[in-house]
Amino acid sequence: MTQTITFIVTKECQLVCKYCYLVGKNANEKMSFEVAKKAIDYLLDRQSDYPAESVIFDFIGGEPLLEIALIDQICDYIKTQLYLKNHHWFNSYRFAISTNGLLYNNKKVQQFIFKNKQHLSIGITIDGTKQKHDLNRIYKNGKGSYDDVVRCIPLWLSQFPDASTKVTISHEDLPYVKESVEHLFDLGIKTVNINVVFEDVWSEGDDKILEEQLVLLADHIIDNKLYVEYTCSFFNKDIGYPLDSAKDNQNWCGAGKMIAIDALGNFYPCTRFAKYSLREKEPRITGNINTGIDRNKLRPFLALTRTSQSTEECLKCDVASGCAWCQGENYDAAETPTIYQRSMAICKMHKARVRANRYYWQRLKDMEK
């Protein structure tokens, strides 16, 4: 079991990605070291409340590398305190950063990597080909960011050869899925995690396009035996089956078990419940560094199950396994301020993935005959 603690170090970003769920990005809300220090002291002084064997200290934005000096200071403090407190996370921790990659070659970033590499994971987001990437991942002036990101990929992979990237699919870029995953493999990225956006952006026929793209991708991977060395998360043996009610009743994500902290020192059950992540709803604050975490405000999150938030249609679906959801999006899209109403916006997209997934594994099985 691993505890995740997320620092929202800034809400600023160089990009205005069209599909980004962070609707409230701004240049004003930046974390101070004093806020981070208080949060760390509060959490590390409560070892019995957080018994997980390991911990991930996650740094996000906006774009977190805009605040690399602060991140470096926070990480130094964490390491020192883990040692001084003889904490059970000492030597069982990891720092994680998700970045748009634009500052990866920066001298201060590289110094930070050199100092922390043994306990560090960095993911660079690149959406695929230049055409697909530049459709959504754009600067504030409308210019695409692909050229500035791709030049950082060789250094990144030389430092983190097993690193993966996260590809996001939205309505506009569906026709470029197959060639984009191929392109990422060609860049040397061996693990491509890919998902459709959870928001309700899908049009009639989008599921057919996704299925066609994934079938073509399956043929490319199998015909070239890329499955020996490369992985695309869309192809998974464990998805697309009816639910086993005895095994499949947990919540999809760790909302409530995770901890997120913002610049004001507020705690959240997940970053998706902070104000800058929400379109319609009020933030769900579970505490503050000065008053602590209110366990009663966590209770609704810890009680979440698949059954408690899903419709009968979802629970009885023949291909329900592997159908994901985002707890924050459920809350934001719900008719009332509840976290117990599951959004079904990606239903048809999941079913399209399942059909392509079955094609992929059947082809591999047929090859064994």
- For the chain, first and last CA: distance in Å? 40
Q: H-helix or E-strand containing 252?
A: none
What 3-state class would DSSP assign to 251? Answer: coil
DSSP 182: H
Q: pLDDT for 13-51, tens place per residue? A: 999 999 999 999 999 999 999 999 999 999 999 999 999
316 phi and psi angles, rounded to 5 deg: -100, 5
d(CA 155, CA 174): 29
Alpha helices, H only, the chain: 33-44, 68-84, 107-116, 130-136, 146-150, 153-159, 177-186, 206-223, 295-302, 306-309, 312-315, 327-333, 347-368
DSSP 269: S
Q: pLDDT for 146-184, tens place per residue? A: 999 999 999 999 999 999 999 999 999 999 999 999 999
Neighbours of 248 (CB within 10 A): 16
Could you give the angle at the alpha carbon of 181 between the alpha carbons of 175 and 182, nearest 5°? 105
Print pLDDT tens along the chain (369 aa): 899 999 999 999 999 999 999 999 999 999 999 999 999 999 999 999 999 999 999 999 999 999 999 999 999 999 999 999 999 999 999 999 999 999 999 999 999 999 999 999 999 999 999 999 999 999 999 999 999 999 999 999 999 999 999 999 999 999 999 999 999 999 999 999 999 999 999 999 999 999 999 999 999 999 999 999 999 999 999 999 999 876 889 999 999 999 999 999 999 999 999 999 999 899 999 999 999 999 999 999 999 999 999 999 999 999 999 999 999 999 999 999 999 999 999 999 999 999 999 999 999 999 876
Q: pTM score, two decimals? A: 0.95
d(CA 93, CA 55): 5
User: Which residues are bridge partners to 191 per DSSP?
Assistant: 164, 231
d(CA 311, CA 22): 27
